[in-house]
């Protein structure tokens, strides 16, 4: 399985044209109001969550958050104040069972100019459909193979699926590059002097509804890293159960067989299309 045929390449190209899906029509928009972000839609709520949220906010309102018949409205106030309001809302949704996999780690929500408007528990970003950020690193060899990790069966999302050499959500106060280097060490045992050689190659905007959960909206910062032939990835944080080194053709076949996480499938497909011969 060493060659990539035209139909396989066409399937990968078509897949990459559909990375950013619209929210389903019955999902409730979340508006961020005030300032330069007046009436901007920044998230979407699964309709299954709305009755619980309506009852909860009616009994005990949260400042700067208003739930109408057609939308959830968030006021634009100081980031520290809005972060406290939204984390109170997230704790309430967690109590109702709508935010699984709580991480005690915060993500930042940034506008198009890179300004931070609030921070929130990372597991809540999917529940509310807020845009988050992640880094993904394609590890490859001179022979043209790619290294892939298999996610631990204990992971809250996509257990047991194939992933890139390293990847991870970008926490508040992290840059994409700092995050990429950290994840390379924690997930694949790549030391800093090798991680420093990564090459930024672009971004992929990923948007998709998650049945029973919420709406996944994430900017993927993509990097490539060439690894020596004798380098063997080693996981340090327990999030990866093992690694495989395979050809681009086999990676493509596994993507089309739905063995990858959705994010890693897009990132790996992009790598294949950029590097196939």
219-235 pLDDT, tens per residue?
A: 999 999 999 999 999 99
The pLDDT assigned to 194 comes to: 97
- pLDDT at position 1 over 70: no
Architecture of the CATH domain 28-126: 2-Layer Sandwich (3.30)
pTM here is 0.92
CA dihedral over 84, 86, 89, 91, signed as positive or negative: negative
**CATH homologous superfamily of 6-20+132-275:** Nucleoside Triphosphate Pyrophosphohydrolase (3.90.79.10)
The pLDDT assigned to 35 comes to: 52
Question: Of 1-5, 148-152, 169-173, which range is least confident?
Answer: 1-5
163-175 pLDDT, tens per residue?
A: 999 999 999 999 9
Average pLDDT over residues 70-79: 94
Question: Of 33-37, 100-104, 133-137, which range is least confident?
Answer: 33-37
Where do the CATH 3.90.79.10 domains begin and end in the chain?
A: 6-20+132-275
226-263 pLDDT, tens per residue?
A: 999 999 999 999 889 999 999 999 999 999 999 999 99
Where do the CATH 3.30.750.160 domains begin and end in the chain?
A: 28-126
């Amino acid at each position: 399985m060493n060659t990539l045929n035209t139909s396989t390449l066409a399937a990968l190209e078509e897949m990459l044209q559909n990375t950013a899906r619209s929210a389903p029509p019955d999902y409730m928009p979340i508006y961020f109001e005030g300032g330069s972000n007046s009436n901007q839609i920044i998230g979407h709520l699964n309709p299954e969550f709305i009755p619980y949220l309506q009852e909860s906010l009616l009994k005990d309102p949260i400042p700067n958050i208003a739930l109408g018949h057609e939308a959830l409205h968030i006021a634009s106030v100081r980031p520290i104040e809005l972060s406290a309001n939204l984390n109170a809302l997230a704790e309430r949704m967690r109590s109702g069972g709508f935010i699984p996999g709580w991480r005690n780690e915060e993500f930042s929500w940034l506008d198009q100019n890179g300004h931070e408007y609030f921070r929130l528990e990372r597991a809540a970003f999917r529940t509310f459909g807020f845009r988050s950020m992640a880094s993904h690193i394609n590890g490859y060899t001179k022979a043209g193979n790619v290294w892939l990790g298999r996610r631990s069966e204990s992971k809250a999302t996509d257990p047991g699926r194939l992933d890139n050499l390293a990847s991870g959500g970008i926490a508040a106060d992290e840059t994409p590059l700092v995050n990429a280097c950290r994840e390379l060490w924690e997930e694949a045992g790549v030391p800093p002097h090798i991680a420093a050689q990564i090459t930024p190659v672009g971004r992929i905007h990923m948007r998709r509804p998650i049945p029973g959960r919420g709406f996944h909206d994430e900017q993927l910062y993509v990097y490539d890293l060439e690894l020596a032939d004798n380098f063997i990835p080693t996981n340090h944080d327990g999030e990866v159960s093992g690694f495989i080194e395979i050809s681009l053709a086999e990676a493509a076949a596994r993507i089309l067989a739905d063995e990858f996480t959705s994010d890693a499938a897009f990132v790996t497909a992009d790598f294949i299309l950029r590097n196939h011969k």
